[in-house]
């Protein structure tokens, strides 16, 4: 294949198992609060004390600063979202709704820093146990990530769903931004931990996009944080699964593939930036405080299906914009 070395059938089976496990565990942990606390508080505490110091130590493929920061930032996001979901007094304060975009921006920025770092390495071989090939693709995709970060919008409209799972719904985070994020994040994984990208790129990203589009619409960020935390906990405990096991799939290590993936990422995020700029100018909106896409059918469907149970900070409506 263009992106990867030949993929045996049993690796495809493992890919679908990973995808199904992430979707299934995300559904379980979002529907039952105490199960979520077990997975995102008790389990990482045990792993931190007894497992990760051995499996994710120096020299392992997950022993870099980035992997350690990533697992804890993903867990922080998941627990922060649970606090917003299950503590009505907290979700009623607009300042608390700054947390979701802030943790998302931090996670994107972490990856951008890593892409730029790899680009500056002039690497062509194993680095921290992972094959890396530095090139212009790192810089292109780092820029794409920064664009993705600055196009985060509509956080004032976050609500808590009215169903028993009390999901954190972000109506203004529409499909085109999510797809641009997916393309950027896949390119990041492909650039910086390429031989992990069959699972940590494709399967992981699809595992949160499927629920966001087909199971619980509007809750993409919640799905993303949970599936990322689950995957990072697993891969730090069993790093050999994606690097040395029979199921591991290496990339093609092709400069053409690396450039193409990052070029698509950059083009998609520039397109979102251009469209967002057009909407802001057309409707005279403030992207820091206003919801931008209230006129979209997808926004209206998500909002109608998930009216807030609790008095969450009220979104800015078209009539209030003046």
Q: What is the DSSP string of 190-243?
A: HHHSGGGIIIIIIIHHHHHHHIIIIISTT-HHHHHHHHHHHHHHHHHH-THHHH
Q: 267 in a domain, yes or no?
A: yes
Q: 287 in a domain, yes or no?
A: yes
Say what the pLDDT of residue 90 is: 83
Asked if 142 contacts 133 with a C-beta cutoff of 8 angstroms, the reply is no
- Which residue, chain included where needed, has tokens 């990208």? 197
Say what the pLDDT of residue 320 is: 45
Q: 290 in a domain, yes or no?
A: yes
- Which residue, chain included where needed, has tokens 């530095």? 134
Burial label, 276 (beta-carbon count in 10 A; 0-12, 13-18, 19+): buried
How far apart are the C-alpha atoms of 302 and 290, rounded to whole Å?
17
How far apart are the C-alpha atoms of 181 and 272, rounded to whole Å?
10
Q: 13 in a domain, yes or no?
A: yes
| Domain region containing 51 | 9-321
- Which residue, chain included where needed, has tokens 């790129």? 201
The CA-based dihedral angle spanning residues 227, 229, 231, 234, taken in that order and rounded to the nearest 10 degrees = -140
Say what the pLDDT of residue 93 is: 79
Say what the pLDDT of residue 1 is: 55
Say what the pLDDT of residue 17 is: 98
Identify the H or E element spanning 125. strand 124-127
Q: 300 in a domain, yes or no?
A: yes
- The one-digit pLDDT tens for each residue of the chain (322 residues) are 589 999 999 999 999 999 999 999 999 999 999 999 999 999 999 999 999 999 988 877 787 777 898 899 899 999 999 999 999 888 777 888 999 999 999 989 989 999 999 999 999 998 877 899 999 999 999 999 999 999 999 999 999 998 999 999 999 999 999 999 999 999 999 999 999 999 999 999 999 999 999 999 999 999 999 999 999 999 999 988 988 899 999 999 999 999 999 999 999 999 999 999 999 999 999 999 999 999 999 999 999 998 755 444 555 444 444 3
- Which residue, chain included where needed, has tokens 């007894």? 50
Q: 28 in a domain, yes or no?
A: yes
Q: 312 in a domain, yes or no?
A: yes
First to last CA, the chain: 53
Q: Which residues of 285-304 are buried (b: 16+ CB within 10 A; e: fewer)?
A: bebeebbbbbebeebeebbe
Structural domain count of the chain: 1
Q: 2 in a domain, yes or no?
A: no
Helix (H, G, I), strand (E, B) or coil at 53: helix
Say what the pLDDT of residue 16 is: 98
Say what the pLDDT of residue 319 is: 44
Asked if 143 contacts 266 with a C-beta cutoff of 8 angstroms, the reply is yes
């Amino acid at each position: 294949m263009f992106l990867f070395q030949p993929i045996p059938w049993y690796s495809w089976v493992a890919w679908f198992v990973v995808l199904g496990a992430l979707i299934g565990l995300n559904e379980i942990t979002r529907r039952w609060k105490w199960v979520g606390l077990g997975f995102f508080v008790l389990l990482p505490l045990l792993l931190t004390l007894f497992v990760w110091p051995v499996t994710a130590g120096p020299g392992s493929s997950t022993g870099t600063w980035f992997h350690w920061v990533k697992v804890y930032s993903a867990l922080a996001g998941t627990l922060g979202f649970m606090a917003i979901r299950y503590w009505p007094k907290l979700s009623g304060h607009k300042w608390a709704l700054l947390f979701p975009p802030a943790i998302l921006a931090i996670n994107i920025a972490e990856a951008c820093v890593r892409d730029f770092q790899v680009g500056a390495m002039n690497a062509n071989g194993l680095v921290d146990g992972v094959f890396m090939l530095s090139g212009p693709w790192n810089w292109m995709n780092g820029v794409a990530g920064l664009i993705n970060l600055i196009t985060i919008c509509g956080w004032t409209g976050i609500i808590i769903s009215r169903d028993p799972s009390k999901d954190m719904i972000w109506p203004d985070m529409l499909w085109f931004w999510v797809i641009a994020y997916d393309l950027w994040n896949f390119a990041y994984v492909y650039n910086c931990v390429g031989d992990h990208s069959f699972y940590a790129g494709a399967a992981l990203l699809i595992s949160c996009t499927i629920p966001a589009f087909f199971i619980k619409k509007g809750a993409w960020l919640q799905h993303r944080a949970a599936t990322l935390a689950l995957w990072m906990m697993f891969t730090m405990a069993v790093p050999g699964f994606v690097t040395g096991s029979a199921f591991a799939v290496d990339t093609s290590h092709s400069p053409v593939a690396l450039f193409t993936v990052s070029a698509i990422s950059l083009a998609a995020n520039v397109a979102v930036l251009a469209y967002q700029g057009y909407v802001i100018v057309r409707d005279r909106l403030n992207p820091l405080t206003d919801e931008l896409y209230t006129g979209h059918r997808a926004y209206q469907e998500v909002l109608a299906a998930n009216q807030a149970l609790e008095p969450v900070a009220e979104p800015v409506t078209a009539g209030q914009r003046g």
